[in-house]
Structure 1
Amino acid sequence: MRRAPWWVLLSSAGAPVFLVGGWTIAQRLQGPAYDPAGDTLSVLASYGARGYWLMTGVLIVLGASYLATAHGLREAAFLGRLALAGGGLSAMALTLVPAPISGGALKHGLVAGTGFVLLAVWPALAAKRAGKGGGKGGGRNVPWALNFKVSVAASVLMCAGAAWFAVELQNGHAPGVAERVVTFVQAVWPLVVAVSCRVWRDSPVTAGP
């Protein structure tokens, strides 16, 4: 039996597609004054930016994608699904507290930081260990992307990416690059989990002698 409905592939695939497509179009609209390496995505979504409405729509669609995917990934542990849904709500909440076109914004930073953290830790929280579930076969395997070691490794990678972004923000070298890398990885991982759930089938873990 497959462990995720077919539509979860659509919801999870929508996140990276709309994210990358949105920032690509928005930075073209912003023109040559915008530096993709040195400027963050928040500049594109700031009130008054040429791509403001586009990026606002992207954030809403991105958040909805995370929410739908969290609902559909029933094989994932509940806390992980809750964290993924929280990341989706944070993305939507960013539309209510857009960053100013220049300077900082405490509320925007808090909401964005919360989203980064939730999306970084959800893989580890969603992990499951093989061999649990009972039955004559001695338990069940789990989709490889929900394997405990794989999930923790994914979270460690995303946390490292978030730390890299934080350092770049302070030093001012290439925060735009760091932000794009970490947000893309965070957007792709739900799709990886969904695919692993779709292709994996129940297979009993053989009991020991």
Structure 2
Amino acid sequence: MRRVPRWALLPSGSAPVVLVGGWTTAAALEGPSYDAVRQTISVLAAYGAAGFWVMTSALFAVGVCHLGTAVGLRAAAPAGRVALAAGGAAALAVALVPAPSSGGSLRHGSVAATGFAFLALWPVLAAVRGGADAPWALRLGPALAASAAMGGGALWYLIATGDGGPAGVAERLVTSLQSLWPLVVVVSCLLHQHRTRPPTP
């Protein structure tokens, strides 16, 4: 199994911090008119929003982080690395194609949905054979659980968006899971490498 470099901790660890910091700062700039329970992150990144540049920059940075993690995560199956990179590219596209201030956009929504799909699929696609010999987060069981949690969160988000429910909470939950899992996988790989490293003569 190929070794994961320690520098992979930087992009994987930065993604959740940048994402949460971005929406927290942008929401503070937007003020009390913004309802974080029912309104989505896209509202913060829409043209004309007070925190437009903050949220847009955060989404762009998260995309770069996912791309960097995909490069460094050499122990994962190639299909998973490609899916993670595609999710990162979708995040870049979401930043470059913000929703209009008037409301939803088919183009923006399509790009965001594509990103959700790739980031929900990448854990199971990244799983490797080896059972107990593989890093914990790259085993099929945990990978399936992660993909199922992300898929379930995305489904809740779609339902909440359609019926006027807590779409903001649902979106934050699923995007938090999607930004955290790459870090979990990287840490799992590094710990596995440390435990299985041959003793120094």
Q: Residue 38 of structure 1: SS of its match in structure 2?
A: coil
Superposition pairs of residues 1-209 of structure 1, within 5 angstroms? 3-130=3-130, 141-201=133-193, 203=196
Q: Distance in 2 between matches of 1:2 and 1:103?
A: 46
Query: What amino acid sits opposite 2:139 in the alignment?
Result: N
Q: C-alpha distance in 1, partners of 2:191/2:126?
A: 18
Per-residue deviation at 1:4? Answer: 1.2
Shift of 1:70: 0.3
Q: Distance in 2 between matches of 1:164 and 1:111?
A: 18
- State how far apart, in whole Å, the 2-side matches of 1:31 and 1:101 are: 16
Taking structure 2 as the reference length, what is the TM-score of the superposition? 0.94
Larger radius of gyration: 1
Asked if 2 retains the 8 angstrom alpha-carbon contact of 1:56 and 1:95, the reply is yes
RMSD of Structure 2 on Structure 1 (CA): 1.7
In structure 2, the residue corresponding to 1:95 is in which secondary structure? Answer: helix
In 1, the alpha carbon distance for the partners of 2:185 and 2:113 equals: 23
Q: With structure 1 as the length reference, what TM-score do the two structures score?
A: 0.90
- List alignment gaps of at least 5 residues for structure 1: 132-139, 204-209
CA distance in 2, matches of 1:167, 1:45: 22
Moved over 2 A (4+): none
Structure 2: which amino acid aligns with 1:175? Answer: A
1:150 shift after superposition: 1.0
Taking the aligned partners of 1:95 and 1:157, their CA distance within structure 2 comes to 25
* 5+ residue gaps, structure 2: 197-201
Percentage identity across paired residues of the two chains: 55
CA contact 2:83–2:121 (8 Å) conserved in 1: yes
Is the 8 Å Cα contact of residues 46 and 98 (structure 1) preserved in structure 2?
Answer: yes
Counterpart of 1:136 in structure 2 is: none
Q: Distance in 2 between matches of 1:166 and 1:160?
A: 10
Distance, in Å, in 1 between the alignment partners of 2:88 and 2:167 is 22
2:83 counterpart letter in structure 1: A
C-alpha separation in 2, matches of 1:43 and 1:61: 18
- Whether the 8 Å CA contact 1:9–1:195 is kept in 2: the answer is yes
Distance 1:55 1:194, change over 3 A: same
Kindly indicate whether the alpha-carbon contact (under 8 Å) linking 1:2 and 1:199 is maintained by their aligned counterparts in 2. no
> Greater helix share, 1 or 2?
2
Contact kept, 8 Å, 1:128 with 1:146, in 2: the verdict is yes
> Which secondary structure state, in structure 1, belongs to the residue aligned with residue 4 of structure 2?
coil
Deviation of 1:197 (Å): 0.5
**Once the 2 structures are TM-superposed, how far is the Cα of residue 2 of structure 1 from its aligned partner?**
8.4
